[in-house]
Structure 1
Amino acid sequence: MAITTPSDIQAACIPPILEGRDCIGGARTGSGKTIAFAAPMLTKWSEDPYGVFGLILTPTRELALQIAEQFAALGSTMNLKTCVVVGGVDMIKQTLELQKKPHFVIATPGRLADHINSSGEEAISGLRRVKHLVFDEADRLLSSTFAPDLEVIMDVLPKPEQRQTLLFTATVTDAVRSLKDAPPKAGKLPVFIHEVANPDDVAIPSTLTQSYLLVPSYVKEAYLYSILTIEENAKKSAIVFVNRTYTAELLRRMLQKMEVRVTSLHSEMPQSERMNALGRFRAEAARVLIATDVASRGLDIPVVQMVVNFDIPADADDYVHRVGRTARAGRKGESISLVAERDVTRIENIEARVNQKMSKYEIVSDNKIIKEALTPVSVAKRESVMDMDSDNFGEKRKQQKARAAAVVNASVKKAKKMKKKKSMKSD
């Protein structure tokens, strides 16, 4: 794999993992965290190969597929069998793969919890003998979003003292850090922690240039088009991050109409389309990827030269993960944030988090926007909105929200009814 020297996180974490210690590893994106846990796990597995030896949990489908690729590359001479368990893929096929007891299972918590609840003992029995449990992007996995699914998963895994638990993340949150204070389990060595001494050093690579551009919110699309197409950037591979799936789809359609080689990645796309979009971008068939935060975590795409924050994230840590898609493994990269009227406080929070001030992006001028981009972009945007309306984009999500609201309302009504009955009985 052309890796001749271990990165800091690899040099620090591989020896204690081989010793059998639980481990918490914090290092910035692009520093080689996957190999830091994959290499020692494969070493221990090769001494006593059986399935299921390791379970790797990760928050997104794309990241799960990428980790599986790295395991396949590292274990290419070892007859290694892996199984990826993510949503959007045929569940019966996944059940059959789990029944074959693959050596390593890479999963998103939601889909794995579904299998535990519904696929039968034959499919999940291998999980009861897991020797290694990995939380990749641990800060995200330990948030309340994943708590119910993790509870289901933990119920079928061996107890903590009977397995090795490894947590890796680019942002070591208080929730992650608090785990190091737990007393060691009987017969286990203390948890090993590797975190860069100064948390600010973790956040942003020194090879990343950060800049901002103050723009009126109603012409952001015109500024984005100009940034992507000016001579200096016309050949650069870029990821444009947005906060909503609707915006991602709108920008994709709009830029496509303006003959930019573009694709998109968001949660309302079928899994096959998401994989195809990522494949096109990796292969440079598309120069621009419009994405929600589904692409902000862990994805390693060497070609990315520029990250544009079309929407500023509410959480400064999300900004850290987004811009971490470029300037990876010592390469240079650039991030540009489009700052509208209501985004100033968010930018100040981000600057405080990364301990750096952004410089003003001077290359795109207001005159150039007005003269060359405003009219054609407005036309393309209007046509795209009409196309999305005629395609009923977002209808599926609306229906899901309506069903979820109906379930909640029914539960509330039932609870009120029960309460009323109890009060009548007590009377």
Structure 2
Amino acid sequence: MRSISCCVRALCSRARQPCKLPQLHPEMHPVLSAALVEKMKISAPNEVQTQALLPAMRGRDVLVCAQTGSGKTLISLLPLLHRVLSAPPARATPGLALQPTTLMLAPTRELALQHESVARQLAGSSIATISGSMGGDHDREGDVSLVVTTPARLLEQLSLGSVCLGRLEAVAIDEVDAVLCGGSAHDQRMPDIAMELLHALRGAGQPQMLLTTAHLSDAHQALLIQEFPDAELVRQRANSAHTGILVPSLRQRFHYFSDDKDAKLVRVLQAATEDPWLCAGSALVFCSESLTAERVHSLLAAASPELNPVLLHDQLLDEARASSAAAFRDNTSRLLVCTGVAVRGLNFPSLRHVVMYDVLEGVADFVHCAGRTARRGQKGLLTCLVPAGAGSRHGTRYQHLHSLQPAAPLTFDQTSHDNVDGVRKN
């Protein structure tokens, strides 16, 4: 009998005929098989993808917790797109509600748009998706079986009658702890808005649930298992007794300061421009509040105009947010000043340096913010600016962040890699 590993590798075959996968699924649609290799340059799944795709492609619920940049988007999208591409095309009727068979939810508009972009990479012109705002005219020809959006926008469109979930077969929820579990890592009850969302999703039956995140507290894991008792839990192995959620290739530096915090930030970024490896990539500065981000952006626009700093926070108009994310992603800008709207899930391939101007003390938020760099096996640097009076490496306030342990390394079998060996150790 073929091994599981061999079966999953068949996902990435260049063959145009459906890939025979007796242990995974009778067929993987050839459009997806070809796109994985030819467009995404992925020749084989990593360990987490292997473990999660087996039950997911068989239609089972899965709950996946693995490091940032480990390929969880594919775990969600491949089963959804296979369903859509393997089914007869569903045509949108002008003026009537959308009736998707598959749905992908993300906590922010930016992340929803990123997922839609990946879906288009995988499925090409074979499928039309509606993402982000879901507003406006959907008088279109073609398959509209996949909707990618945020929970808030979905509930709004359901209340307006613009979307109907009567045909829904499968749902993927990325950053599921943020979407369903509330703000505190110790919450043992889902907030009312999450229960309203689940009620809407289950209105016409029990769709398959594909749930992913980079970190789960014990309380959140228990909450999700209680709500989805049939879901198969897939967690990345750890290098120690700690839950393994930090990326192994991430380097951390904690800079303590007693004088001007803004001056310290400018010095840190100036030093980065003199580092051959860091200056070849881009940098992200995280601030906890929109007003702080506005001020820091103005500071850095004056101090480092050559980096063309851009700003991203949730108080900006959608067009401004999209413009900033696009400029940073295509390297028009090499410095992004942002708030939590960019912390979860967003992938910026050139990002090598994350600076926490405001250090996130919650483990989940810390892990997600740090995880914007050192993705897909590449290296990255995290710099935290810490007031000298807040403690030291052995103090209590930040001790839990210093002691976070990396996950067991994943193998990313790709046809090409960037050269990222030049980062300096602490």
TM-score (norm 1): 0.74
Cα deviation, 1:279-303, whole Å, max 9, x if unaligned, reads: 1111111111111111110111110
Name the structure 2 match of 1:192: 232
State the alpha-carbon separation in 1 of the partners of residues 135 and 257 from structure 2.
49
Partner of 1:61: 109
**What amino acid sits opposite 1:221 in the alignment?**
D
Counterpart contact for 1:16–1:192, Cα < 8 Å: yes
Matched, 1:305 2:343: no
Q: Structure 1 241/183 Cα, relative in aligned 2: closer, same or farther at 3 Å?
A: closer
The Cα shift of 1:134 comes to 1.3
Corresponding residue for residue 223 of structure 1? 264
Letter in 2 for 1:75: A
Please name the residue that 2:49 is paired with: 10
Question: What aligned pairs does 1:71-82 form with structure 2 within 5 A after superposition?
Answer: 71-77=119-125, 79-82=126-129
Residue matched to 1:404: none
User: Aligned pair in 2 of structure 1 residues 253, 136: CA closer, same or farther (>3 Å)?
Assistant: same
Shift of 1:158: 3.5
1:140–1:92 distance in 2 versus 1, CA, 3 Å: closer
* Cα distance change, pair 183–299 in 1 and its aligned pair in 2 (3 A): closer
Q: Does 1:153 align with 2:197?
A: yes
1:70 match: 118
Which 5+ residue runs of structure 2 have no aligned equivalent? Answer: 1-39, 91-98, 184-189, 408-423
Q: Does 1:269 align with 2:290?
A: no
Which residue pairs with 2:152 in the alignment?
A: 110
Matched residue SS, 2:138 = helix
Instruction: Give the aligned residue type for 1:162.
Output: Q
Unaligned 5+ segments in structure 1 are: 185-189, 357-361, 365-427
Structure 1 CA distance, aligned partners of 2:132 and 2:140?
A: 9
For the aligned residue pairs, the C-alpha RMSD in angstroms reads 2.7
CA distance in 2, matches of 1:107, 1:63: 9
Would you say 1:347 and 2:388 are equivalent positions? no
Q: Which amino acid aligns with 2:110?
A: E
- Residue 154 of structure 1: SS of its match in structure 2? helix
Shift of the 255–348 alpha-carbon distance from structure 1 to 2, 3 Å rule, reads same
Alignment of structure 1 residues 300-339 onto 2, 5 Å = 300-339=347-386
What is the match of residue 35 of structure 1? 74
Task: For residue 211 of structure 2, give the secondary structure of its aligned residue in structure 1.
Answer: strand
The farther-off stretch of 338-347 and 133-142 is: 338-347
Kindly provide the amino acid, as one letter, of the partner of residue 138 in structure 2.
L
Shift of 1:339: 0.5
Task: Name the structure where helix makes up a greater proportion of residues.
Answer: 1
- Give the secondary structure class of the aligned counterpart of 1:75: helix
Q: Distance in 2 between matches of 1:354 and 1:346?
A: 17
1:243-271 deviation digits (Å, cap 9, x = unpaired) = 11111111111111222421111111111
The answer on whether the counterparts of 2:106 and 2:151 sit within 8 Å (CA) in structure 1 is yes
Question: What one-letter code is carried by the residue in structure 2 that aligns with 1:138?
Answer: V
Shift, 1:317, TM fit: 1.6
Partners of 2:319 and 2:180 in 1: CA distance: 28
AA aligned to 2:403 is A
Partner of 2:182: 144
1:128 is matched with 166
**Residue 129 of structure 1: how far off its partner (Å):** 1.4
* Matched-pair contact (CA < 8 Å) for 1:133–1:166: yes
TM-aligned CA distance change 1:206 to 1:286, over 3 Å? same
Instruction: Give, in whole Å, the separation in 2 of the partners of 1:129 and 1:264.
Output: 40
Q: Which residue of 1 aligns with 2:85?
A: 46
For the structure 1 residues 97 and 239, does the alpha-carbon distance in structure 2 shift closer, same or farther, using more than 3 Å as the test?
farther
Percent identical = 29
CA drift at 1:351: 2.1
Q: Which moved more, 1:295-304 or 1:230-239?
A: 230-239
Moved more, 346-355 or 308-317: 346-355
C-alpha separation in 2, matches of 1:266 and 1:215:
26
What is the alpha-carbon distance in structure 1 between the residues aligned to residue 425 and residue 102 of structure 2?
A: 49
Deviation at 1:342, TM superposition (A): 5.3
Aligned partner of residue 163 in structure 2, secondary structure: helix
Whether the aligned pair in 1 keeps the contact of 2:127 and 2:143 (CA below 8 Å) is no
CA contact (8 A) 2:65 2:236 kept: yes
Describe how 1:230-269 pairs up with structure 2 within 5 A: 230=271, 231-232=274-275, 233-258=278-303, 259=305, 260-269=307-316
Count of residue pairs the alignment pairs up: 343
Contact 1:116 1:152 in 2 (8 A): no
- TM-superposed CA distance for 1:98, in Å, is 9.9
Equivalents in 1 of 2:191, 2:154: separation in Å? 13
Q: Deviations over 1:33-76 (max 9, x none)?
A: 00012112211222224451111111111111100001111111
Q: Take 1:98 and 1:162, find their aligned partners in 2: how far apart are those partners? A: 29
Amino acid at match of 1:70: V
Q: Quick check: 2:216–2:364 contact (8 Å CA) kept in 1? A: no
1:162 shift after superposition: 3.0
Amino acid at match of 1:136: D
Contact 1:84 1:105 in 2 (8 A): yes
Match of 2:8 in 1: none
- Bigger drift between 127-136 and 340-349 goes to 340-349
1:342-370 CA distance string (max 9 Å, x none): 543442121234479xxxxx999xxxxxx
Q: Runs in 1 of length 4+ with deviation above 6 angstroms?
A: 97-101
* Structure 2 Cα separation of the partners of residues 6 and 105 of structure 1: 25
Query: Is contact 1:312–1:343 with CA below 8 Å preserved after alignment?
Result: no
Give a deviation string over 1:149-186, Cα, whole Å, max 9, x none. 434433333459631011101002322344335685xx
Return the index of the structure with the highest Cα Rg.
1
Q: Distance in 2 between matches of 1:98 and 1:212?
A: 52
Q: Is the 8 A contact 1:214 1:339 kept in 2?
A: yes
Change in Cα spacing, 1:98 to 1:23, as seen in structure 2 (3 Å) is: farther
C-alpha separation between the residues in 2 aligned to 1:152 and 1:182? 13
